[in-house]
Structure formats: structure tokens, C-alpha cells
């Protein structure tokens, strides 16, 4: 008898330990998935142009854009944020935001977290697993139906196409207990296409049945309810995660002030391109911060930069997001290459002045000049001091030229905005080099011309400066012209 009792206790002890280990694994996974989501969106910026006032004020929700996520999702509970991919088509934004806002309005992130905790405790029960997955799926379908009710049946096709495109990407946050992503696209698309708004009498009947069932349940004996205190993890989860940058180690030689200044400038430019507001604020003096605010780069809420255009690094082409063209112990000049999704690249020139305080470089003055419409020879030389080679302005090397060429083939040679004919070398030069479209200030003439190469002369009347540009046709005689060389 004693032997049997000891064996039972041993088995129960092993099972209890196994249960505790699996619970710990669930909790660890929950924390890991949250941290992974946070790291995924650490470079996100607030989408000022598409964030409705209702999101920012009524529901305390903001919309953020991120270039590292394949589809929209909601993250957080107390201060939920909606994250959407960069360059999401405008026609998708309205109903996608409505879907995500529906999740937040119904407190779906909170209910999902509670359900995940219950799943962690009752992981051994298959019915709990089934209930969890059905609950998450029904939440998504319910929000889909709410969007269809709001916008009407005419968006069904477009909405379904959006779900399908999102489903083709990997979703690292679909099972995260504190995030709501786009999953189970097949069932959701079928549900959207077959959805019909229920009649009012059906809704009333269902409500009455639920009330009757609920009242009948109250007649049962009292269940023993165990109360558990949920930890204060949610508060720590809501903390902002700053953009991580690679800091360049300072030289140990104190006499090498120029080298130290260059390293500090490189740190600043990395923070600028990554929208690392903490590093920017840490390095800037109050005067420099005020200048950043005047340029609408820094706001009172601790946000830096905007969604687009913005400097970004292309891993495929290896093109840098910026170049430091001049640096000494007191000042520096940086060229940033800002891109939009058309695709199109413009040059921003930033001038920094800095001082040393307590063995630390402080940015005392900052000035940003956006060379979007170059109207003078001096502006042209500021934008292209050494030509375009090894910079993102080289459309033959940056990978963007092929995209423009493919679009032009289907659009009678026009650029995505339909304003420039890229099969005309002069108009292509205006568009790709961001030249002011004003013949009185920027005169462009063709000196030599054949089917694959044209020599252009660009004369800026304001300061009487002339530059020569070689235009080439890398994608055949029917393709677009791009800048080959600035002479």
C-alpha cells in the first residue's frame, strides 16, 4: 500500500512539473513574440497623412507605417497602435484601418491575451486549443463583416484581394498573444464574399436566446472559481522601444578631434536615417532641437521624421541612404537620398555645426535643404558634387530604373505620376535629376543624339552655370532614358 502511494505521488509530481514547464514555455513564448513584434516595428513612423482624428483622440489610437512588415496588425492593449506596411495603396487604407480599429474598439487584443493565458494554464485540454483558435478566427471574421457593413458590398472584391495579398507573406505576429495580424485568409475571403447583412429580427432572436440560456445557467450550483492575479506585464509591454543604431567606437587618441567628429557625424546620420529620436535628442542642443521642430522633423510628442519620402537603405543594390561629403572639427555636410514608392529619389543636403562639451560632440546647429526642384547651378552642384556614380541617384544601378521602365512600357512612356515622358531624354533628365521645369531658369538642349545615347547641355540662367549630362537607354530602343554620367 505504501509503495502504491509513493508511486502515485511520484507520477503526480512528474506531471505537475511537466505542467509547470509547459506553462513557463507558453509565458516565454508570449514574451518572445512581443519583443519580436517590437523589434520588427522599431523603425516605424507615425503616418500623419492617414491618421484620422478619431484614431488619435477618441480611441487613443495612432497609425504607424513600417517597411519591415508584410501586412497590417494591431499591437498593444492599453495604448494600442495600428501598424501598416509602407506604400499601402490608398484605396486599401480606409477599410484596412476600419478593420483594425474594430479590433481595438471591441478590446480584442485584451481578450486574446486572456485567452492565451487560459490556454497556457489548460494546455493539456484539446478543447481549450480548439476554442482559442476558433475565437481568434471569429474575431477576424466579425471585424471583416463589420467593414463590409460599413462600406457596402462594392468593396468585397478589393477587400478579398487585400486579404489574399497579405496571405502570400509570412506573418511573424499572427500567433502573438498581444498582436492581431491578418491570418486564415482562405476562410475569411470565403466569408467576405458570402456575407449578407443579417436581418434585424434574426439578431433580436439570437439575443433573446442568449438571455434565456444565461438565466437558466444561473440556476445551477455555484462553481468554485479560482482567482489569479495577472502580473503587471502589460505596463512594461507598452514602453516605447527606440530605434537601434550601430554606434561607432570613439578613438582613444584625444588629439584626433577630426576623427572623433567624423564618428559623431556618422552616428548622427545613422540616427537620422533610422529615425532614432533618442539619439537625435541626446546629441542635439536646445537650439538645434528648435531648428528641427521648425523644419517639422521633430515634434513635441517625441516623434522624428515622417513616412515618405525618407532616406532608406536598399539591401539588394547596396546603395547607402546617405553620404558625408565634408567633415572637420566644427562642421559637416551630409547628402541624404530620400525615396518614395513611385519609385523616385531626391537629394537632401544637411549642414551641421557642432561643439565639444564634456568630451562629447553636441550638434549646435542643423539646417536641411531639400533639393526637390533644382533651379540653379549651385543647387545642382550641392546635390551632385561628384556626379551620380555609387549613389542612389544612379537609376541603372539602384534597381529602380527597371521598375520605372516596366511601368513606362505599359503607360506610353510616362512616369507613375503621368507628368514626364521618360522616353524623351530631356524630360527624363528633368524627372530623374529633380530639375525645375522652367525653361526660363533651366535650359536643356541636346548636343549629340543617337538611339541609345544623348549628350544634354543644362544651363542655369540664375547663376550662368552649365553642366553636361549623358543620357543612356539601358533597356533597349523602346525603353526609358536614365542618367549615365554628369560631366
Beta strands in 263-383 (DSSP E): 310-311, 322-327, 331-340, 344-356, 361-371
* Residues 6+ positions from 424 with CB-CB distance below 8 Å: 413, 481
Assign residue 351 the CATH number of its domain: 3.10.450.50
Same domain, 193 and 318: no
Residue 332's domain spans which residues? 256-372
pTM of the model: 0.51
Pairing type for strands 81-85 and 62-66 reads parallel
Number of domains forming the structure of the chain = 3
User: Do 430 and 437 form a contact (C-beta atoms < 8 A)?
Assistant: yes
Q: How far apart are the first and last CA of the chain?
A: 99
Q: Does 221 fall in a domain?
A: no
74/195 same-domain check:
yes
Same domain, 28 and 176: yes
Q: Are residues 14 and 110 in the same domain?
A: yes
Let me know whether 54 and 195 are in one domain.
yes
Q: Is 377 a domain residue?
A: no
CA–CA separation, 453 vs 439, rounded Å?
Answer: 23
27 and 162 share a domain? Answer: yes
Cell reading at 131: 476554442
d(CA 207, CA 345): 57
**CA 45/CA 56 separation, integer angstroms:** 14
Helices 185-194, 126-151: crossing angle, 10 deg rounding: 40
Residue 458, beta-bridge partner list? 444, 467
Residues 196 and 53 in one domain: yes
Per-residue pLDDT of the chain (487 residues; tens, 9 = 90+): 444 557 888 888 899 999 999 999 999 998 988 888 888 888 888 876 665 444 444 455 788 888 878 788 888 888 888 988 877 777 678 888 889 889 898 898 899 999 999 999 999 999 999 999 889 888 888 898 888 888 888 788 778 877 776 765 555 555 566 565 555 666 777 777 776 655 555 556 666 777 676 666 555 444 433 333 333 333 333 333 333 333 334 444 444 667 788 888 989 998 898 888 899 999 999 999 999 988 888 888 888 888 778 887 555 555 668 888 888 889 999 999 998 877 899 999 999 999 988 778 899 999 999 998 999 999 999 999 989 988 889 998 888 888 899 888 888 989 888 889 999 999 999 999 999 988 889 999 988 778 889 999 999 999 999 999 999 999 988 899 999 999 8
Q: Residue 289 has which C-alpha cell?
A: 532641437
List pLDDT tens digits, range 417-441.
888 999 999 999 999 999 998 888 9
Whether residue 366 is found in the same domain as residue 393? no
Same domain? 353 vs 403: no
Distance CA 158, CA 74 (A): 21
- Domain end call among 206, 228, 244: 206
Amino acid at each position: 500500500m505504501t509503495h502504491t502511494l509513493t508511486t502515485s505521488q511520484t507520477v503526480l509530481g512528474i506531471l505537475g512539473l511537466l505542467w509547470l514547464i509547459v506553462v513557463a514555455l507558453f509565458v516565454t513564448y508570449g514574451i518572445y513574440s512581443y519583443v519580436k513584434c517590437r523589434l520588427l516595428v522599431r523603425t516605424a513612423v507615425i503616418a500623419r497623412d492617414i491618421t484620422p482624428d478619431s484614431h488619435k483622440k477618441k480611441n487613443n489610437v495612432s497609425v504607424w507605417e513600417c517597411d519591415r512588415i508584410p501586412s497590417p496588425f494591431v499591437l498593444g492593449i492599453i495604448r494600442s497602435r495600428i501598424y501598416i506596411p509602407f506604400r499601402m495603396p490608398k484605396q486599401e487604407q480606409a477599410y484596412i484601418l476600419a478593420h483594425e480599429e474594430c479590433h481595438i474598439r471591441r478590446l480584442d487584443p485584451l481578450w486574446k491575451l486572456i485567452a492565451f493565458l487560459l490556454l497556457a494554464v489548460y494546455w493539456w485540454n484539446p478543447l481549450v486549443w480548439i476554442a482559442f483558435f476558433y475565437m481568434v478566427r471569429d474575431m477576424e471574421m466579425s471585424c471583416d463583416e463589420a467593414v463590409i457593413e460599413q462600406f457596402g458590398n462594392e468593396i468585397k472584391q478589393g477587400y478579398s484581394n487585400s486579404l489574399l495579398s497579405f496571405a502570400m507573406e509570412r506573418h511573424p505576429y499572427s500567433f502573438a498573444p498581444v498582436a492581431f495580424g491578418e491570418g486564415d485568409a482562405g476562410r475569411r475571403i470565403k466569408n467576405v464574399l458570402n456575407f449578407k447583412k443579417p436581418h434585424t429580427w434574426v439578431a433580436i432572436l439570437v439575443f433573446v436566446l442568449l438571455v434565456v440560456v444565461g438565466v437558466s445557467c444561473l440556476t445551477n450550483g455555484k462553481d468554485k472559481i479560482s482567482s489569479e492575479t495577472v502580473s503587471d506585464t502589460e505596463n512594461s509591454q507598452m514602453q516605447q522601444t527606440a530605434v537601434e543604431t550601430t554606434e561607432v567606437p570613439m578613438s582613444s587618441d584625444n588629439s584626433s578631434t577630426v576623427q572623433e567628429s567624423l564618428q559623431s557625424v556618422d552616428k548622427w546620420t545613422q540616427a537620422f536615417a533610422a529615425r532614432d529620436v533618442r539619439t537625435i535628442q541626446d546629441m542635439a542642443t536646445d537650439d538645434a532641437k528648435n531648428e528641427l521642430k521648425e523644419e517639422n522633423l521633430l515634434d513635441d510628442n517625441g516623434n522624428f521624421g515622417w513616412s515618405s519620402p525618407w532616406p532608406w537603405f536598399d539591401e539588394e543594390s547596396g546603395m547607402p541612404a546617405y553620404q558625408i561629403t565634408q567633415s572637420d572639427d566644427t562642421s559637416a555636410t551630409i547628402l541624404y537620398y530620400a525615396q518614395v514608392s513611385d519609385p523616385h529619389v531626391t537629394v537632401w543636403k544637411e549642414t551641421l555645426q557642432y561643439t565639444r562639451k564634456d568630451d562629447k560632440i553636441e550638434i549646435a546647429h542643423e539646417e536641411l535643404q531639400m533639393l526637390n526642384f533644382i533651379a540653379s547651378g549651385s543647387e545642382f552642384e550641392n546635390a551632385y558634387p561628384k556626379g551620380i556614380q555609387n549613389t542612389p541617384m544612379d537609376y541603372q544601378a539602384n534597381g529602380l530604373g527597371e521598375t520605372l521602365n516596366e511601368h513606362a512600357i505599359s503607360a506610353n512612356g510616362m512616369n507613375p505620376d503621368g507628368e514626364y515622358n521618360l522616353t524623351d531624354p530631356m524630360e527624363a533628365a528633368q524627372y530623374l535629376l529633380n530639375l525645375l521645369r522652367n525653361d526660363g531658369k533651366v535650359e536643356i538642349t541636346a548636343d549629340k543624339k543617337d538611339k541609345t545615347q544623348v549628350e544634354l547641355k543644362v544651363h542655369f540662367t540664375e547663376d550662368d552655370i552649365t553642366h553636361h549630362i549623358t543620357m543612356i537607354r539601358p533597356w533597349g530602343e523602346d525603353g526609358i532614358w536614365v542618367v549615365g554620367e554628369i560631366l
